[in-house]
């Protein structure tokens, strides 16, 4: 038995291969599998991250409707007070609305309606702001220009500021809308334009013929046109 067994024994190297020579195919790593016909799909677009809607542009302050009583008004006349940056009680008695140095709008003593028809009213019962032209006229004034000199020009200690000018234009835009006043040089005008544009004589009033922040603009029409342009923009 032992002999036979040795006769039929497989060679040891075959029985237990010391260094098995495996097939190269068997060793190869599996090929990558493509899903569809070996076509590489495009990389999908990254998912868009929703962005919040842009904030709406801040809306400017509107004139309090309670300050605009129903009345039939024809025009708006723009002034400066020839005072400081704050509205005094005297200022408030002469104008319907005032724009202080920081752009704050102050209401005058008299209602706009008080100027609808003046007739034989006493001068202290309406806003007396423009000689011979108070009926149907809204008077708005910018608190500034105390001690100012026309020639040679000096704006004094409280020069009219562009903030006041712009705020006044916005207030006038609200007034034009409410009272149905068209914007023209006869209906939205400065005190200095009353004589040349309406033919109503004034006593040398020069508000507004100079803009301290823009010396290139001189005269009633140049300043008035700049103002009306801003009113039109504020109407939008
Ligand atoms: Zn004036």
31 C-alpha to ligand 1 centroid (Å): 93
205 C-alpha to ligand 1 centroid (Å): 6
148 C-alpha to ligand 1 centroid (Å): 13
Residues with Cβ within 5 Å of ion ligand 1?
A: 79, 191, 207
Query: How would you write the pLDDT of the chain (236 residues) with one tens digit per residue?
Result: 454 454 455 555 544 444 444 445 556 666 656 555 566 667 777 777 777 777 766 688 999 999 999 999 999 999 999 999 999 999 999 999 999 999 999 999 999 999 999 888 888 899 999 999 999 999 999 999 999 999 999 999 999 999 999 999 999 999 999 999 999 999 999 999 999 999 999 999 999 999 999 999 999 999 999 999 999 999 98
DSSP secondary structure string, 10-72? PPHHHHS-SS----HHHHSPPPPPPSSTTPPPPPPPPPPPPPPPPPPPPPPPPPPGGGS-S--
Total domain count, the chain: 1
102 C-alpha to ligand 1 centroid (Å): 20
6 C-alpha to ligand 1 centroid (Å): 135
Question: Does residue 224 fall inside a structural domain?
Answer: yes
CATH code (residue 134): 3.40.80.10
Domain that holds residue 207: 71-235
109 C-alpha to ligand 1 centroid (Å): 17
* Global confidence as pTM: 0.76
Question: Does residue 184 fall inside a structural domain?
Answer: yes
Nearest to 142 by CA among 203, 197, 204, 223: 223
């Amino acid at each position: 038995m032992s002999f036979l067994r040795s006769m039929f024994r497989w060679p040891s190297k075959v029985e237990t291969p010391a260094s098995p020579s495996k097939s190269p195919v068997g060793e190869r790593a599996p090929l990558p599998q493509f899903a569809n016909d070996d076509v590489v799909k495009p990389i999908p677009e990254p998912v868009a991250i929703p962005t919040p809607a842009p904030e709406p542009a801040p809306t400017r302050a509107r004139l309090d409707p309670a300050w605009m009583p129903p009345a039939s008004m024809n025009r708006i006349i723009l002034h400066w007070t020839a005072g400081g940056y704050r509205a005094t009680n005297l200022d408030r008695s002469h104008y319907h609305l005032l724009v202080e140095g920081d752009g704050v709008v102050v209401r005058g003593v008299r209602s706009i309606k008080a100027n609808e028809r003046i007739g034989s009213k006493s001068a202290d019962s309406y806003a007396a702001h423009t000689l011979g032209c108070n009926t149907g006229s809204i008077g708005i004034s910018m608190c500034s220009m105390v001690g100012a000199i026309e020639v040679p020009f000096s704006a004094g200690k409280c020069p009219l500021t562009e903030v006041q000018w712009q705020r006044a234009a916005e207030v006038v835009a609200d007034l034009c809308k409410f009272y149905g006043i068209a914007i023209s040089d006869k209906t939205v005008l400065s005190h200095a334009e009353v004589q040349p544009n309406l033919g109503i004589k004034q006593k040398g009033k020069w508000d507004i013929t100079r803009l301290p922040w823009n010396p290139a603009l001189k005269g009633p029409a140049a300043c008035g046109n700049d103002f009306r342009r801003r009113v039109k923009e504020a109407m939008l």
